[in-house]
Structure 1
């Protein structure tokens, strides 16, 4: 075998190994869709995001079965999903779509996990918007086999902090999180306080029982991979409940 042939064989083997490594990243699951107004899967969900179009997740959002939802810690995480192994329902070439975890798909143990109880434990299942589902499969399908993998979240602009609560119950909803997408820990700091750890209330709503009115606010956010970003003086001293402020991005 000549030097050129040896080099070509090496490149072919290298390419094949690379494909195998990438394919190993994919895991098997199933997917269905739910038709909602404005192409969103839902406007109020278990992650607490509210209007998904307003926070820019929109149609590319999904409800996850309990195996994937992980009691809400997966909220904001991003998944690449593609329809596979179904000649009638999967679109040609198995195109993929990037989804954000925004809701919980509850189990229905009154129905078989093979028909109707698609989110029953221990199934891994995505409940998508109709518009997102149509990007990977025929809408005539009721359920399709898919493969998925975790991917980095690509976001425009910085982290968004939406403040709610009252004088002695302070809560912040954190959205538009890049990188992992999942928030693991949050701290808040007023001009008259040190850094105060916040507890997860539900979804991506974080709380602490302290009066922060009249103080400019800073936030320290840590993702599930351990990356931390600090946004100083995000909210001015005259912030009001219901307002949203933008900080740094990962």
Structure 2
């Protein structure tokens, strides 16, 4: 009987978790596109991801307006989008994207005539190959969309790109599954205790603790409160400009 009760509880918890994801409400925004069908202009920009193809993000990305970007904290979050309430332009289906850049305001233009990313407007600027998946013709230019947060699905583990100098360390934390948004990072060297890092910009995290010459562990927390600890993921002989991948992800 106890086994049945435990099993039932597990089923209920699993159903509740699915409901939280599937039951997230749709919100409304607008979407535009940049570049051309080659996607050659797709870069990591304000989140610090650099070459999105090399980092594994590809074209499934978007630049977010001020109202959604949240000073860089939303970098890495994943969204589902669909064209909405525009029969002339909307194509069926949805796309899934990762937030990788910032769409800056254009204060010289009103928000309904070119200042698409001006506050308080919620806006997604998509790579053209993604935009044409939800519209019948790219000449639509700008379309209303519905969007919702979804869990991120990534290949492989959390990645850490090492930057800085002997006195100051900057680490890009990326390829985050689950909630996608990193909200807290700590690092521990083989000769130090745990040190909490601070956000420099996007998903670049910094510390003034001297770590060169030490094997490193990282503890990463996402916006849903989940934490992954990657022990001794960076070897003692690491160098700036190297990327290391954890076996774990969210």
TM-score of Structure 1 vs Structure 2, range by shorter chain: 0.7 to 0.9
Distance in 2 (CA, whole Å) between partners of 1:118 and 1:23 is 29
Equivalence for 1:70 = 70
Distance in 1 (CA, whole Å) between partners of 2:153 and 2:44 is 23
Equivalence for 2:124 = 126
After superposition, the C-alpha distances for 1:173-193 in whole angstroms (9 at most, x for unaligned) are 011000000000000000000
For these two proteins, the number of residue pairs brought into alignment is: 228
Equivalence for 1:86 = 86
The answer to whether the Cα contact below 8 Å between 1:82 and 1:97 also exists between their aligned partners in 2 is yes
Shift of 1:46: 0.6
Equivalence for 2:230 = 231
Partner-residue secondary structure (3-state), 1:54: helix
Question: Normalising to structure 2: TM-score of the pair?
Answer: 0.88
Partner-residue secondary structure (3-state), 2:47: coil
Distance in 2 (CA, whole Å) between partners of 1:177 and 1:37 is 27
The answer to whether the Cα contact below 8 Å between 1:46 and 1:103 also exists between their aligned partners in 2 is yes
* 5+ residue gaps, structure 2: 1-20
CA RMSD of aligned residues (A): 1.6
After superposition, the C-alpha distances for 1:29-73 in whole angstroms (9 at most, x for unaligned) are 000000158415532411011001111111111000000001100
Shift of 1:245: 0.4
Equivalence for 1:116 = 114
Partner-residue secondary structure (3-state), 2:53: coil
Question: Normalising to structure 1: TM-score of the pair?
Answer: 0.88
* 5+ residue gaps, structure 1: 1-20
Shift of 1:24: 6.8
Equivalence for 1:4 = none
The answer to whether the Cα contact below 8 Å between 2:65 and 2:105 also exists between their aligned partners in 1 is yes
Q: Which has the larger radius of gyration?
A: 1
Equivalence for 1:10 = none
Runs of 4+ in 1 over 3 A off after TM superposition: 21-24
